[in-house]
Chain A
C-alpha cells in the first residue's frame, strides 16, 4: 500500500532518541517488531527474499508429496481393469485435487521459489522492491493451499470438477459437496499471492538492477521471470473474475452459469482459458530460464543467441494470449474460430522451437560435463520436445477432436509439465543448492535420481499416448477388460511408482548431504562450485542476508565469468583470477536491511477464516475480515524499516530499505550523513 512504506528519516531519528513507547509507530503497532535472525520465529516473520524463496520451495515440495500420493492412488486404481479400490466419486476428487495441487501449489510456487531466491541475487539487489509484500505473497499462497486442501476434511468431499472446472458441472446441482467452494475461494487466495508477487518482482527487475546491468545484460533466468510475472499480472485478474462468478453462483444463487436461466457455460471456458493458456507459459518459462543458466555453464560456452532466447521468451509472452481457444475445439465455437486458433497455436511453436535450437547450439562444440543439473537440463530439452510435438498435433483441429478428453492429452501435458517444468526445476535445485544452503547435494545420488526419474517418467506417460489413441478416455475411474488397455496401464502404474522411488532418492539425498556438511572433514564448496557465469555466484555460499558486500558494477553479460576469464591478443581465453578472489566474502555487517514483520503472516491468516466463513458461517467471515482490516492497517502504518534493526546491523539507520530512496535523501542530520558517507565507496 502506498501510504506506508516510507518513514521519514527524521522520524526514525526521533525514535532512536526518545523513549520507545512514545513513538507514533508503536502507537499503531500492537507488538514490538520481531528481532533476530535465528530460530523458528525468524522464519515466520522474515522478509528476506532468500528465506522466502526457500520456504516457497519447501512448501511446494510438501504439496508435491500430497499431489504425488493422490497420483499414486489414481495409478493403483487404474493398474488393472474393473478395480474398485476407490469409488468413482472419490476418483473424481482425486484427479481434481491432484491437478489443482500440482499446478497451483507445486509448479507455480517452485517457479516463485526460484524467482524470489534468484532474481535479486542475479540483478545485484539487496532484496525485492517490497520485502513485506513478498512475505505476504508466500503466506498467502501457503494458507490458500492449506485452505484448499482442508476440503478433504471439512468440505464433505474435496473438489471434483476437474482442474478446469467446466460449468455447469460445478453448479450446486451437479457438485453438491462444498468441494468446489473450496476450489473457487482457495484459488482466489493463491491468485492474490501470485498477483502481489508479480507486482513485486516486476518492480524489482525494472527498478533495482545493479549499475550497468541493462535489460540486455540480465541473466536469462531473470528475463524469463520477468515475462512470467507479466503473464501473471494480466492472467490472474481474469481467473479471479471467473472464480468470483462461480462463487457467487454457488453461494449467492447468481445466474452466471445457470443454463435454465439462459446462461452460456462457454463463458466459463473462455474466461478460464484466457487465464489458462498464459498459465501454461507461467509454468514453463521459469524452467526455460533455469536451463538457460545451467546449459552454458556445463557446456563452458556462453548461451547461443542470447537475444533470440530473450525475444522468443517475450514473443511467447505475447502470443500466449492468442491461443486459448485451442482448449475448446470440441466445444462448438465455430469453424472460423477453430481455424484461427489452430493457426495461432501452430505459430506459437516457433518461438518455443527457437529456444530448443538455442540450447542445442549452446551444447554444440562445447566441453560438456554431465553433472546432475546438466542431466536434468538435457532431460528438459528432450522430454519437452516430445511434449511440444504432441502439442503441435493438438493444433490440427480435426485430430484434436479425436484426441480431446483422451489419455493422449494427459500424456501431452505431463510431458510438458513434468518432463519440461519439473525436470528443469529439479535441475535448478541441484544447481543452486550450494548457494541456498552452503553445501552441495551428492552427485552420485543425484544421478541415480535422474535416471530413475527419467525411466519412471517415460514408463508412466509414454504409454498414455498409445492408450489415448486407442480411445481410453481420461477422468473415468475404471475400464473394462478386453479393450486392449490392460498392459499399458500396468506399465504406467509401475512407472508411477518408479517416479515415487526417484523422489525418495532425492529426499534421501537432501538428508545425507546435510549430514555430510556437519562432519568435521567436510570441505565447503566455496562461492562458485560450478565455475558459473552470473553474479549470484559472486557472493558467499550460502548467500549472506545482505546478498552483496558491495553492489557489483556490471559491464558485461555473464559479468562473473568476465571477471574470472580474459582474452589474450591472439584470442585465447585464459583464466585471470580465481573465483575466491573475485567473489565477495559476505562478511560485511553494516548493511541496513528491512526489518521482519508480524503483519504479513497475520494478514494472510485471515484469508482462510474469511473462506470458511463464507462457506459455513458468515460470523467467522466477519471475524476474519476484522483481522484482515487490522492487519492491513498494521502493515500500512508500520515503517518498512525498523530503527532497532532486525539483522544486527550497526549503521546509522540511513534508510537503505528497498522502498523509496527519497526518504534517505530527504533530511539526514549531520551525524547520519557522516555515516552515510562511510557507506559510499
Chain B
C-alpha cells in the first residue's frame, strides 16, 4: 500500500472475508455466533428463555392488574370469605422449597452426578405436584362454598390468575419429568447441564410469580 493509494485494499475474489482484525486472531470464524463466541456470553437457548420470561412478566402483570381492578367491584362472595391463609401458606412454602431442590438438580448435573440429578428432579416435580394438588383442593373447596368461575367478578379474576399460574407450574412439572426420563435413558449427560439450568430458570420464575400472587392476592387485604 503506497502513500497515495486508497487506504483500504480490496479482498481478493476468492478470499473475500477481508483482513481479520488482530483481536480476532485464532477465532473460529466458521462457528462464530453459534455458541462459543456469542456477543452476550449467553447461549441462544438460554437467551431465548430469558426473553420468554421477560415477556411472561407482562402476561402476569396484566392478569394481576385485572385481578386488582376486579376483586372489590363485584357482589357476593369476596376474598375474605373463602381464603384459608394457613393452608395456602403451607403450599406456598412447598413451592418455594422446590426452588431449592431445583438448584440441587442443576448443581448435580454440573458435577456429572446423574443419580443426584434424577433424585432432585423427582423431588422438585413432587413438590410442584404437591402445590398443584393443593391448588386443586383449594379450588374444589371454594367451589363447594359457592364460588364458581362465573359467580362474580372476583371469582372470574381469581380463578383466571391463579389458574394461569397453575398451568405454568404444570408445564414446568412436565418439563422436569421429561428431563427425568431423558436422564434415565442416558440422553441427559453432563454436557447438557445447560438444559437443566434453563428449565431451572423457568421454574424459579414461576416460583417468584407465586410469591407476588400470594402477597397481592392472599395477604394484602
Chain A positions near chain B (C-beta within 8 angstroms):
1-6, 8, 11, 24, 125, 129-130, 195, 198-200, 202-204, 206-212, 233-238, 240-242, 244-245, 248, 252-256, 261-264, 267, 271, 274, 538, 549-553, 555, 559, 562-569, 574, 576-577, 580-585, 636, 656-667, 679-681
Any chain A CB within 8 A of the CB of B20?
A: yes
A8-B160 contact, Cβ under 8 Å, with A3-B199, A584-B16: no
Any chain A CB within 8 A of the CB of B59?
A: yes
* B75 contact set on A, CB distance < 8 A: 261-262
Q: How far is the CB of B168 from chain A (nearest CB, A)?
A: 13
Q: How far is the CB of B160 from chain A (nearest CB, A)?
A: 7
A659 is contacted by which of B44, B52, B59, B70 (Cβ under 8 Å)?
B44
User: Are B24 and A211 touching (Cβ within 8 A)?
Assistant: yes
B44 is contacted by which of A203, A236, A553 (Cβ under 8 Å)?
A203
A664 is contacted by which of B34, B45, B52 (Cβ under 8 Å)?
B34
Chain B residues within 8 Å of chain A by Cβ, number = 79
C-alpha spacing A3/B160, complex, angstroms: 28
C-alpha spacing A200/B45, complex, angstroms: 10
C-alpha spacing A55/B65, complex, angstroms: 38
Chain B 43-57 residues near chain A, CB threshold 8 A = 43-45, 47-49, 51-52, 54-57
Q: How far is the CB of A246 from chain B (nearest CB, A)?
A: 12
User: Are B36 and A261 touching (Cβ within 8 A)?
Assistant: no
* A244 contact set on B, CB distance < 8 A: 160
Q: Which 3 A-B pairs have the closest CB atoms?
A: A566-B6, A661-B35, A577-B10
B143-163 interface code vs A (CB 8 A; 1 in, 0 out): 000000110110111001000
* B contacts with A: majority SS: loop
* A636 contact set on B, CB distance < 8 A: 178
A212-B24 contact, Cβ under 8 Å, with A256-B66, A262-B74: yes
Q: How far is the CB of A666 from chain B (nearest CB, A)?
A: 5
Chain A residue, CB-CB nearest to B156: A254
Chain B residue, CB-CB nearest to A234: B58
* B9 contact set on A, CB distance < 8 A: 576
Any chain A CB within 8 A of the CB of B194?
A: yes
C-alpha spacing A658/B32, complex, angstroms: 9
A8 is contacted by which of B12, B33, B62, B189 (Cβ under 8 Å)?
B189
Among A203, A210, A549, A550, find the residue whose CB has the most chain B CB atoms closer than 10 A.
A203
C-alpha spacing A206/B57, complex, angstroms: 21
A209-B29 contact, Cβ under 8 Å, with A233-B55, A569-B3: no
Any chain A CB within 8 A of the CB of B111?
A: no
User: Are A263 and B153 touching (Cβ within 8 A)?
Assistant: yes
A681 is contacted by which of B17, B37, B54, B153 (Cβ under 8 Å)?
B17
C-alpha spacing A524/B148, complex, angstroms: 69
Q: How far is the CB of B75 from chain A (nearest CB, A)?
A: 6
User: Are B24 and A553 touching (Cβ within 8 A)?
Assistant: yes
Chain B 1-31 residues near chain A, CB threshold 8 A = 3-13, 15-21, 24, 27-31
Q: A208-B32, A550-B29, A636-B178 are in contact. List 19 more A-B contacts (CB 8 A).
A: A2-B202, A6-B195, A8-B189, A198-B55, A199-B55, A211-B20, A211-B29, A242-B62, A248-B156, A255-B155, A264-B69, A267-B69, A271-B66, A553-B21, A555-B18, A565-B6, A576-B10, A661-B35, A661-B37
